[in-house]
Chains A and B, each alone.
Chain A
């Protein structure tokens, strides 16, 4: 009995403590209940769940809470598109707004390791911002892509892959326009553009052309051919002079005005305006062939004359 007694008292006292705390907790659960809007959970379920942060909130749950509690704009999720907007409008009981044109990330550089020179050997961390902060980067071009792939790492949708030329390749099908890559890039060479805009400049270098040419062989040379071509397109429009303008030796397109006619891309001699026209690249070849034919014919002419 003396041996059992202490254990009995322990069991009794512990279960008494358990029952008391259990009672306190159950009372507290009823008394201190936090009212949570059930719509938050429903909205969270209908959001894509990528937690990309494109809406500016910390993940989808943050956005769901903000929509319900603060009445935040329901069109901020670029990943979900119009489907999600309609769902959210239904849940919140407000009128659905048509989704704006989806944005796509676009790279404004075509240098890469093949076309640019290096100023020095870089041994530091393989990180774009670390390399960019070290004496303006090791690349010959202080505007171009460094190629360590901070953008690819930051993409939550695996839409960016670094290619063999150390340039990011953006898959427009996978890209949702969340803009994580834009903030990850220390050189500011990725921008978000509505997907309807099909023409863009593949360069950000504003240096004088000879300086730029030392570092990169495929940068914008500021020849203004594109501006000239564009002016011809808008010749009859009194309100618009040109949609593409060359400033600081760099062409830039005003997408508000641009009609996506691709005339600028066709005339670009580098070519640095995308989409690159293959026809343009092939053009010099026939010229050379023609010249060769001329020489041959001249030779034949000489031969014939000697024979004669």
Chain B
């Protein structure tokens, strides 16, 4: 019996669409739109001016403050403009027109021997490279890897669960570059100054588990790294649920993984850490899954940050028809967008073009009090009561049901037979309470 947590749902996986598609490179876009805010925290500050020419991988946005991340030019070329964002609010977008030579990719750097680097040197390289959590939340990795001294970390958990339907990019990453991933794990362990790492993978990715376990036995690694298959269930890859499944430790309400002496990193982030430390390569490209029934050539691709979704559609053979929804990220936690001019950013793990039979479009109905959401909630909340309280404007009641413990996994909304947007209700409750407590 594979380890797991309480609650959760089993949405159709749909991973077979792109499971066997090898990584291929999408061609470099003519114009890149690089937003200055791609991460949680303070937006980066533009350090190039309009008209300046930039090299591939050159720093164009410098981190402002501790929780922030550097942003690098994805293509060599000219900064055409630093435009205001489409919504009119927040930090701007750096527009780069590609021209000139691709120095970073054409000149293969000699791999550096990271064993000679000190802990701070490695951490500095990670910070300079602008690496953020690539699972989707985009939290600056360097911040996560430098926990306050009073928190003693004893285990690194590598999140390779990839519980979101459709997405296969982490799966393929583990099958294609198992050695690189273990090297990345060892680098991360060195930064944290610990010896123990657990890689958690859902058991629907049998090939990835096999490939990692085989490589692990061949590599003869001095650190204590184990690969653990997990039960296939959404949201197995949610930080707190993953920690519980693998170690049995429960992150306290309002707490962080470091409160139970654990640091969690996504497997994609681990891969990016290795590239940054060994090849000095900043994070200006990433692997994504392009999937869904409405795209002609679904697959796993390597794209530059700042590539517009309209360019990706063109590269992937166009659309089969009008998609009902275009979702950035996974279908459960992702954001649906209404503008295909949106660029790919660091946190984009996939782009899904969903047809009408893959999504629900329509009204919602009153709660029938079946309690399905209560059984499915991995945190043990009562989403139906929260939803009802918010719907009838009783924020005082909603506050009693701990809306801030919600991890926004949308399991409740997925399972609800009345099609109630429960996670949206809970988000609304959080917003209202924040406003009230101001």
Enumerate chain A interface residues (CB-CB to B < 8 A).
Answer: 119-121, 123-125, 127, 129-130, 133, 135-136, 142, 153
Contact = CB atoms under 8 A, between A and B. Distances in A.
B338 A129 contact: no
Contacts of B390: 125, 127
Interface residues of B, number: 20
Contacts of A120: 336, 338
A142 B89 CA distance: 12
A123 B360 contact: yes
B181 to A, nearest CB: 35
Given A136-B87, A153-B393, A125 B338 contact: no
A24 B424 CA distance: 54
B364 interface: yes
A208 to B, nearest CB: 11
Contacts of B421: 123-125
Interface string B377-394: 000000000000011010
A130 B426 CA distance: 10
Contacts of B337: 135
B428 A127 contact: yes
Contacts of B353: none
A46 to B, nearest CB: 29
Given A120-B336, A142-B88, 13 more contacts: A123-B361, A123-B362, A124-B424, A125-B391, A125-B421, A125-B425, A125-B428, A127-B428, A129-B431, A130-B425, A135-B87, A135-B338, A153-B393
Nearest to B391: A125
B113 interface: no
A123 B413 CA distance: 12
Given A121-B361, A123-B363, A130 B428 contact: yes
B393 A130 contact: no
Nearest to A150: B393
Contacts of A129: 428, 431-432
Contacts of B424: 124-125, 130
A188 to B, nearest CB: 14
A127 B427 CA distance: 12
A214 B338 CA distance: 15
15 contacts: A121-B361, A123-B362, A123-B363, A123-B421, A124-B424, A125-B391, A125-B421, A127-B391, A127-B428, A130-B424, A130-B425, A130-B427, A135-B338, A142-B87, A142-B88
Interface string B141-160: 00000000000000000000
B416 to A, nearest CB: 12
Per CB-CB distance, the 4 closest pairs between chain A and chain B, nearest first, are A120-B338, A124-B424, A130-B428, A124-B421
Contacts of A130: 424-425, 427-428
Given A125-B421, A136-B87, A119 B364 contact: no
A217 B336 CA distance: 27
Contacts of B428: 125, 127, 129-130
A153 B360 CA distance: 28
A185 B312 CA distance: 39
Interface string B306-345: 0000000000000000000000000000001110000000
Nearest to B427: A130
A120 B338 CA distance: 7
Contact of B338 (A119, A124, A127, A142): A119
Contacts of B362: 123
A153 B394 CA distance: 12
A4 to B, nearest CB: 51
A123 B364 contact: yes
Contacts of A127: 390-391, 428
A120 B323 CA distance: 12
Nearest to B324: A121
A119 B337 CA distance: 10
Interface in B379-438: 390-391, 393, 421, 424-425, 427-428, 431-432
A120 B425 CA distance: 19
A123 B424 CA distance: 10
Contacts of A153: 393
Nearest to A184: B393
A245 to B, nearest CB: 22
Contacts of A121: 361
A129 B364 CA distance: 18
Interface in B351-386: 360-364
A121 B424 CA distance: 15
A136 B425 CA distance: 17
A121 B432 CA distance: 24
Contacts of B393: 153
A153 B425 CA distance: 17
Contacts of A125: 390-391, 421, 424-425, 428
A120 B327 CA distance: 13
A125 B363 CA distance: 9
A119 B339 CA distance: 9
Interface string B63-92: 000000000000000000000000110000
Contact of B431 (A133, A135, A136, A142): A133
A129 B431 CA distance: 9
Nearest to A127: B428
Contacts of B432: 129
A212 B254 CA distance: 43
A136 B421 CA distance: 18
A142 B361 CA distance: 22
A6 B360 CA distance: 71
Most B CB within 10 A of own CB, among A120, A121, A125, A153: A125
A76 to B, nearest CB: 21
Contacts of B360: 123
A121 to B, nearest CB: 6
Most A CB within 10 A of own CB, among B88, B336, B424, B431: B424
A128 to B, nearest CB: 10
